[in-house]
Structure 1
């Protein structure tokens, strides 16, 4: 008779650090869901604003196609998402440059204000947690997190296209 729990072939499980990363990811998702729900926003809305903010900080143009690809949405779902963000006052559609057909998406000051308010508790608690570490420890943790993000991106690409 086996002493392993049913449905779990490897009783050892992932290494403790990987388990902690999984737990962090789950808690971050729970926080985003709770913060979004208080502001009538779905996690996809928050993810879209995050994509727009990241691209904007790199001086890159954000189009509906960029959102569609980065969030893995269909064209109709992308349109519905942009419509929601536009209606809530978080995003505006603009046509700039020589090709007036291309729609560019920009976050509004309201989006930055709302986002700041939504994520202030997380920022406050994370800042307090970070204060307990030396600059050298934070540098090592930063390197580690970059490596984990890269590994996750590669695993996602492999999952999407196969090994």
Structure 2
């Protein structure tokens, strides 16, 4: 009989599987394809970080061709969630930007889920909140490493 995972490992496993399974549901509830939702998340991250992002960078981060990203951006543009604009630094380049509608709608169910989690963590003592922030930063670093194919730290 295989060894049972430790409680922390089991909880992390449940969290990862639960969040992974929510993506398609959240996308469907928002009336979009899961790739569209992932694109909006990438654009929200770049917007938050003050970085411009173009179709080629989106393609690389999504693991799609630039032609596929063009279709995604076209769909999101029709929904009023993104706009294409010329780069401020390179006239040959196009950037994909979120619209105010995308920022204020907070992406429907995803925004609600994020706000609910943030409110709950906000009730924790400051020391515990700091531990949650550290944990989330570590999880994001580990998943980014996995996406790049680099070995996680042991």
Give 1:134 deviation, angstroms. Answer: 1.4
Per the alignment, residue 87 of structure 1 pairs with 78
Per the alignment, residue 60 of structure 2 pairs with 69
Q: Secondary structure at 2:16's aligned position in 1?
A: helix
Equivalent in 26, 50, 53 of residue 59 of structure 1: 50
TM-score when normalising by structure 2? 0.82
Q: Which has the larger radius of gyration?
A: 1
Per the alignment, residue 127 of structure 2 pairs with 136
Q: Is the 8 A contact 2:43 2:53 kept in 1?
A: yes
Give 1:107 deviation, angstroms. Answer: 0.7
Q: Distance in 2 between matches of 1:72 and 1:23?
A: 26
Instruction: Count residues in correspondence.
Output: 151
Long gaps (5+) in structure 2: none
Q: Which has the higher contact order (CA 8 A, sep 6+)?
A: 2
Per the alignment, residue 96 of structure 1 pairs with 87
Q: Distance in 2 between matches of 1:99 and 1:106?
A: 15
Q: Distance in 2 between matches of 1:98 and 1:159?
A: 32
Give 1:84 deviation, angstroms. Answer: 1.0
Q: Distance in 2 between matches of 1:122 and 1:114?
A: 13
1:7-41 superposed Cα distances (whole Å, 9 cap, x missing partner): xxxx1254432332232122223333223212211
1:98-121 superposed Cα distances (whole Å, 9 cap, x missing partner): 532211111112212332543343
TM-score when normalising by structure 1? 0.78
Per the alignment, residue 7 of structure 1 pairs with none
Per the alignment, residue 112 of structure 1 pairs with 103
1:33-68 superposed Cα distances (whole Å, 9 cap, x missing partner): 223212211221111111112112222111001111
Per the alignment, residue 149 of structure 2 pairs with 158
Q: Distance in 2 between matches of 1:113 and 1:42?
A: 20
Q: Distance in 1 between matches of 2:3 and 2:9?
A: 12
Give 1:82 deviation, angstroms. Answer: 1.0
* Root-mean-square deviation (Å): 2.4
Long gaps (5+) in structure 1: 5-10
